[in-house]
Amino acid sequence: MGVEMTRYTEDNELWRFETARYAVTLHAIEEDMDPSDSFESEDDVEFARSGDPAAWFCAAVRVVNKKTGIELGSDVLGGCSYKSFRDFYSGHRDRDPANRNTLAMKAKNVVICHYFPDMVSQAIDNARDTLANLAA
């Protein structure tokens, strides 16, 4: 079983975190799916079709070897619709505690869904698996 790897490009990069050897990046990719397949509300569909790139996109988090440019792990989420790209990748750090998964919100049985932190974790896990498979 071989490990599939793709080349990294900097197109549509929204966010980046680097270590000495690796870069973890977030990219926006054009969404091919029609928003009406994802939303029931016409207002939501209309917003996604507004023409604003952040209103309808795929998010891709990638872990890349900085020396070779080879992607080692990734996670992709389609059907993203936000007021801005920044809302997607920084919403989990909102200053308003009501918009974060705080202990006070958990005590009320309220869970706020922020996809980005989980995507970063998943991409890193995938990269670790790739490196382990290459070493085996």
The predicted-structure confidence for 45-55, as pLDDT tens digits, reads as follows 999 999 999 99
Residue 111 lies in a domain: yes
Residue 2 lies in a domain: no
Residue 3 lies in a domain: no
Domain of residue 63: give its range. 13-135
Residue 38 lies in a domain: yes
All residues at 6 or more sequence positions from 100 whose CB lies less than 8 Å from its CB, including other chains:
92, 93, 94, 112, 114
Residue 8 lies in a domain: no
If one counts the domains in the chain, the total is 1
pTM here? 0.79
Residue 1 lies in a domain: no
The predicted-structure confidence for 31-67, as pLDDT tens digits, reads as follows 999 999 999 999 999 999 999 999 999 999 999 999 9
How far apart (Å, rounded) are the C-alpha atoms in residues 119 and 17? 13
Residue 112 lies in a domain: yes
Residue 93 lies in a domain: yes
